Amino acid sequence: MLSSILSRASCATCKFCCSFRRQSLWETPLFPLKVVEKLSLPNEYGVVGEFRAVVDPQKSCAGRLVLENNYRTADPEEEVSCTFLDPQKGCILKPEDKPFDCSIWPLRIMNKDGELVIALTPTCPSIGAVPSQALNELIKSGLGEKILEYAKEHPYIIKDYRAGFPIIYL
Ligand code: SF4
Ligand code: SF4
């Protein structure tokens, strides 16, 4: 959804958002139950994922991809890749199976003092730590509303606000 402002060339060499240090495990992908059922069993991608159930306050369910068992060292900087990342091709999932959260990265929907806000994860090297005019315009021209609507239907994607994440107002 951010392809118009993300640099393909940067993404091809980066893949930062598809690998996780232990301190980033709160960001591992969240999948709707229907997709979890498909990806937990042998499937068209030839890769089976391990998921943990997530239930939000509105009792909607999802599955969080489990990567904790994949670390090989005690180094806190060690990164493990998402199960569905091909090192050459990138994400192997079709758009219909790709988590919404992944498709809006580096944007996040967060709960700040009881209010839903759209925030920018400041670590994407392509977009940068400060919302650009192009990003602000994209959000104001419909993407922001789309994210809010999805979050209302799938509240498990709403994360607690984290300091240092710039908020983008609609
Ligand atoms: S962190 Fe940013 S630049 Fe890197 S792969 Fe993800 S979207 Fe692309
Ligand atoms: S599901 Fe795809 S886009 Fe999301 S983290 Fe995994 S490889 Fe990356």
Encode pLDDT of 49-84 as tens digits. Answer: 999 999 877 777 899 999 999 999 999 999 999 999
- Two structure tokens written together for 61: 């369910």
CB of 84 sitting under 6 A from ligand 2: yes
Residue nearest to atom 2 of ligand 1 (CA): 124
- For the cut 80, the answer to whether the pLDDT of residue 170 exceeds it is no
What is the average per-residue pLDDT within 93-117?
A: 96
CB of 150 sitting under 6 A from ligand 1: no
- For the cut 90, the answer to whether the pLDDT of residue 161 exceeds it is yes
Lowest mean pLDDT among 22-31, 32-41, 56-65: 56-65
- Reported as a pLDDT band with limits 50, 70 and 90, residue 169 is confident
- For the cut 80, the answer to whether the pLDDT of residue 30 exceeds it is yes
Residue nearest to atom 6 of ligand 1 (CA): 17
φ/ψ (deg, to 5) at 15: 60, 20
Place of tokens 């498909």: 38
CB of 31 sitting under 6 A from ligand 2: no
CA dist 105 → 29, 64, 113, 123 (Å): 11, 16, 22, 10
CB of 124 sitting under 6 A from ligand 1: yes
How many angstroms separate the alpha carbon of residue 11 from the centre of ligand 1?
5
Q: What is the C-alpha separation between 116 and 63, in angstroms, rounded?
A: 22
The 10s digit of each residue's pLDDT in 10-20 is 888 888 999 99
CB of 118 sitting under 6 A from ligand 1: no
